[in-house]
Amino acid sequence: MKQKIIMLMAFLLIGAGSLMAQTQVQGTVVDEHGEPVIGASILVKGTTNVGTITDVDGKFTLSAPSDGKLIISYVGMETLEVAVSPKIRIILTTDSEMLDEVIVTGYGTFKKSSFTGSAAIVNAEKVKDVPVTNISDKLAGNVAGVQINSISGQPGATESIRIRGMGSINAGNNPLYVIDGVPMLSGDVSGFSYSNAGTSILSTLNSNDIESITVIKDAAAASLYGSRAANGVVVITTKKGKAGKTRFNVKSNWGFSDMAINYRPVLDGASRRELLYLGLQNYSLYTRGSTPEKAKEYADKEIDKYAKEPWSGWTNWRDLLFRTGKYQNYDISAQGGSDKTKYYSSLSYTKQDGITYNSDLDRITGNLNVSHQAGRISLDASSLFSYTDQNSINEGTSFASPIMAVSMSVSPSSYPYNEDGSLATYFPAMGSFANPIRAYRHTWNKNKLTRSFNTLSGTLDVMDGLKLKELVSYDFTQNASSTWWDPNSNDGRTAKGVYQKYMLNTSKLNTQTQLTYDKVFAGKHYLNALLGYETEAYKNEYTYVNGSNYPLLTNPKFEVENSAVKRASSHIDEYRLISYLGKVDYNYNHKYYASASFRRDGSSRLAPENRWGNFWSVSGSWRITGESFMEPLQHILSEAKLRASYGVNGTQPWRYYDYMALYEFGSNYDNQVGMAETTLGNENLKWEKNNALNIGMDLTLFNRFSMTLEWYSRKTEDLLLDRPISGSIGIIDRYGEAKELVNVGAMRNSGFELELKSNTIQKRDFSWTTTLTLAHNKNKILKLNQDQGEIKDGQAIHRVGEPYHSFYAYEYAGVDPATGKELFYLNDGTANARETTTNPAKAQKIIIGNADPKVQGGLTNALSWKFIDFSFTFTYSLGGHVYDNARWIQSNGGTYHYYGNIPSHYKIEDTWKKPGDNAKLPMFAYGGTNERSSRWMLPTDHLRLKNLTLGISIPQNMIKKAGLEKARVYMSGNNLLTFKSEKLYVDPENISHGLVLFRTPTMRTITFGVELGF
C-alpha cells in the first residue's frame, strides 16, 4: 500500500512539473512571399482555452508547454503543426484545394472543380451588411439566371424568385429552400390576403447566421430532391462552431428608408386644375359643339366643382400618408469549443418601420448549433427560434390603400381636416368615409409569427469510408393573423365594424436515413455513393373567427366576444411523402467525372395508381487541364472544364385532395345541417414533370480571371392546371368556384448564362475582385388543354408558341392630328393591317409584348485597402415590360381624373389642343373613356445600385489594449440609385406576370453600423 502511495505522489509531481514547464513563445507568421499573415489562428494542441490571433505585423505571443505543439491556421492556407520554441518564424503556403469553392448540395459537399452540375455560391460574408429582412434580397445580382421580384415594399413581404424562368402555371414557381440539408417551409404564411405583401417565412431567418448560400440550377443535384426541386434549390448553410477560445461578435446598425423611385407621381393642385379646365373646354367645344366663348364660360362655371383650392391650400397627400422609414438591428453571436465539441449561438433583434403608417416589422431570432465527436459517432443539433410581429397595410384597390389614394382616388382639392379639426369628408371619388387618414387610424392588419426549426442528427463511422447518418427535424410555424375594420372606416361602416382572426399552425416533420461510402482506389479512382430513405409529414391546421356589429366607441373593444354577430370555421390539411434515393459520383484522377442519381417519391396528394414518381439525373465533366498535353499552357489556362447534365424532377399538386371526389358538411339547408360536393375528383391526376438539359464550360486564366458559360433547356410536361367546369352540376369549392385540376399542356424555358470573375489585384495592402453575371431566358408555351390554342385573361394572353406572360391589347399608333383622338393599328390580317383608326372596334387586339426581360444580371466589385473595405452591386434588366392595369386613370379625362388624382405623365404642354396639332398625348376632355392599348405597356429596362457598403476597421494595435480583436464601423445601403426610362412610373422589379396596380414601392434604405469582435 505504501509503495502505491509513493508511486501516486511521484506521478502527481511529474505531472505538476510538466504543467509548470511553460515557454513564452514569440513568433511571426508569414506567407511564402514573406508577407505577414494578419489574423492567423494559433492554438496549443490538445487545449481549448489557449490561443491567439496574429496582429497587424503577423506577430503573436503566448505561453505554452515546452514540449507542446502549436497549430497554425488561416483561411486559404495549409494548416501547420510545429513544436514550441521561444523564437519561431512560421511560413504558411497557399492551399490550392481550399481556394477551390465549396458547393453544398444538401446531399454532399463538392469542390467546384469536381462538381458536374450547375450551381452558384453566394458568400454571405460579402453581403452581410446589406440592410434587408429577407435573405432572398441578398441573392440579387450575385447569381446568373436568378430573377428576384418584390411582391411589395412592405417589411417582411413575400418575394417572387425565378430560377431560369417559370416552370409551372399553377403548381408554384419558387425554389425549394434547404437549411443544413433539411427542406424548410417557405412561401406566404399570412392568414389574410387584404395586403398583397403577405408574410414571408424567409423573413424569420437572421441573415447573420448564414455562412453561405448555394443556388442549384440544373438537374444534376436538384433531381435528388425529386418532387420539390423543379424550380431549383436554394441551399443555406448556417454558421458552425470552431475549435478555440470563445469568440464574441457584436453588431448593430441603424438607418432610414424612403421610396427607391418616385412611384406613380401625380400633378400638383395648380397643374391639375389647369388640365381639368382645358378638359372642360374641350368637352364643351368638341362634344357639345359650343363656341370658344361658350366653352370658356362652361369651364369657368364648372372648374371649382372638381378642382377648387381648399381652405387649407392644395393638399400634398404624399406628405401626409408616407413617412421616412426607420431600420435598426442588434446582433450578438458566440462561437468556440474544443476538438470534440464545437458550438455557435446567436441572438438578434431587428425592427423596420415601413414608409407608410401601420407597416412595420419586429423580429427576435435565436440560434444554437452544437456538434460533438464521440469516438466514431458525431452528433449535431441545431435549434432556431423566431418571433415576428408584422403590421401591414392594405394594397391594390382597397379603400384603406394609401398607395391607391395618393395615385388615384384622393386629389389635392380634398383636405384631411375640417377647420374645427375633425376629419374631413370631401372625397368624391370614393365616398365621404374614404379619408385615408381615417383609414389608417381605424383599420389594421397584424401577423404574429412564431417559428421553431429544430434538427438532430447522428453520424456513425461504420468502417473506413462508410458512414451511416440519421436525421430528424421538426419545422413549426404558428401565425396569429388579425384584421380590424372600425365602424368609423369605409371598410367597416356598413357592417358596423368587422374583426377577423385567423390562427394558423403549420408543421413539417422530416426524417432522413443516409448511408454514404467514400473511397479512393489505387490513388486514381475516387468513388462516392449514397443511399437514402426519407419521410415527410406536413400538417396545416387553422381556426377562423369573425365578429361584426360592434358598438361605436372611442376605444373599440374589437375581440369577437364583444360583437353582436359571430361566425367561425376550422379546417385541417395534411399530406405525406415517402422517398427512396441513391447517388453515385465517380472521379478518375481528377480528370474525368461522372455522376448519377435516382429518387422515387410517393405522395399522398395523388391516387394510388399514380402516386409514385421517378426522378433521376446523369451528368459528367472533363477537366481538360488535367491532361498532360495541357501542361505547357498551365501558366495561361489554369483551369478548363466541360460538363453536361440531364435529368427529370417534378412537381406535385399544390392542393392535397384533388384526386378524390369529396363532399363536406357545414352547408345551411333550411336551417338544418347540409352537405355539398366540393371536389369532382380526378384519379388520373399525376406528377408534373420537368426535363432539364444543361451544358457548361468553366475556364480560369492566369489563376486570376474565370469564366462560366452555360446553355440550358428545360421542358415541363403534364402541366397542372385548374380547368373551369360547369357549376350547374353542383361541384363548387369553398371559394365559390367550379373547377377541376387536370394535367394539360407543356412549356419550355431555354437560355444561356455567363459569369465572369476577376481577382484584378491581390496585394498585401490592396485587393480588388469583380463579378459580372448575365442571363437570357426564353419562355414558350408548347401545348395547352387539348385543342385549345390560347387562354385569354384580361390584359394577359397565354398562347401556344408565345411566352406565358404575354400582354394582349390594341396596338397604339399615336394621336390623330385632326381630332386629337387615340389612333390604333387595324392589325386585321389584311393588306391594310398597318393602317390606323380612331375606332377601336375596327381594330384587332394582338400580343403587344411580354413581361420577360431579354437580358438580366449584375455587376459586383469588392475592394479593400489596408483598413478600408468597399463593395457595391449593380443589377440590371433589359427587354422586359409591365402593363399598367390601373385602367381608371387612363381615360384622358374620365371620372377618376375629375374626382381623384391625375398621373404626372398627363402634361398639358404635350396634349392635343386644336386640329392640326402633332401632339404626344391625345385630347384631354371631360367624360373621356379608356382603351386598353400598348400605350400602357411600359419598359422595365433599368440599372440599379442594389447595394453598397463602406467599412473602416480600426487597426489591431490600437484596439488590443481594450481587449478587442475587431472593431469596424460601416455604412451600407440598399436600392440606392435607379436609372430607368422616364416612361416607367412604377418599380422595375415588379412581380413576374407584369400586370401592375397599386403596391408599396421598393424601399431605399441607408444604415450606419458598428461591429466588434472579442
Q: Does residue 207 sit in helix, strand or coil?
A: helix
pLDDT in tens, 529-546: 999 999 999 999 999 999
Grid cell 415541363 in the structure block, residue? 716
Question: 672 or 138: whose pLDDT is higher?
Answer: 138
Task: Report the C-alpha gap between 550 and 562 in whole angstroms.
Answer: 7
- Tell me: the pLDDT tens digits for 155-214? 999 888 889 999 888 777 889 999 999 999 888 888 888 888 888 888 899 989 998 899
272-276, 434-438, 638-642, 658-662: which is most confident: 272-276
Q: How far apart, in whole angstroms, are the C-alpha atoms of residue 815 and residue 667?
A: 56
* Residue pLDDT, tens place only, 350-397: 999 999 999 999 999 999 999 999 989 999 999 999 999 999 999 988
pLDDT value, residue 16: 42
pLDDT value, residue 33:
62
Q: Does the pLDDT at position 737 exceed 80?
A: no
pTM: 0.87
Question: Is pLDDT above 60 for 494?
Answer: yes
In percent, the amount of the chain with pLDDT more than 70 equals 94
Q: Using one digit for the tens of pLDDT, what is the confidence trace for 73-90?
A: 876 677 888 888 888 888
Contacts of 378 (CB under 8 A, 6+ apart): 371, 372, 458, 459
Task: Give the rounded percent of residues in the chain with a pLDDT score beyond 90.
Answer: 60
Please choose, from the candidates 140, 357, 27, the residue with its C-alpha nearest in 3D space to the C-alpha of residue 944.
140
pLDDT for position 431: 85
Q: How confident is the model at residue 9 (pLDDT cuts 50, 70, 90)?
A: very low
For the chain, percent helix, then strand, then coil, each to nearest 5? 15, 50, 35
Residue given cell 523564437 in the structure block: 87
- Summarize the confidence of residues 302-310 as an average pLDDT: 95
Write down the pLDDT at residue 7. 42
pLDDT for the residue 728: 61
**853-886: pLDDT as tens digits:** 999 999 999 999 989 999 999 999 999 999 999 9
Average pLDDT over residues 927-937: 95
Highest mean pLDDT among 231-240, 393-402, 708-717: 708-717
Whether pLDDT at 50 is above 90: no
What would the mean pLDDT of 895-901 be, rounded to a whole number?
A: 95
Quickly tell me which residue has 453571436 as its cell: 333
Asked whether residue 18 carries a pLDDT value surpassing 50, the answer given is: no
Partners of 561 in the β-ladder: none
Distance CA 616, CA 30 (A): 48
Residue listed under C-alpha cell 427576435: 364
Name the residue type at position 251: K
pLDDT attached to residue 273: 97
At 668 the pLDDT is 63
Q: Please state the rounded mean pLDDT for residues 957-975.
A: 89
Query: How high is the pLDDT of residue 406?
Result: 94
| Mean pLDDT over each residue of the chain, to the nearest integer | 89
Q: Is the pLDDT of residue 115 over 80?
A: yes
H-assigned helices in 254-404: 269-282, 292-307, 317-321, 402-404
Instruction: Give dist(CA 238, CA 878) in Å, integer.
Output: 34
Give the closest residue to 807 by CA, choosing from 936, 694, 897. 936
pLDDT band at 4 (very low <50, low <70, confident <90, very high): very low
Query: What integer pLDDT is reported at residue 5 of this predicted model?
Result: 42
Task: Name the one residue in this structure whose C-alpha cell is 379625362.
Answer: 893
pLDDT band of residue 97 (cuts 50, 70, 90) is very low
- Determine the Cα–Cα distance for residues 56 and 38; give it in Å rounded to an integer: 5
User: Does 674 have pLDDT greater than 80?
Assistant: no
What integer pLDDT is reported at residue 897 of this predicted model? 96
Higher pLDDT, 76 or 577: 577
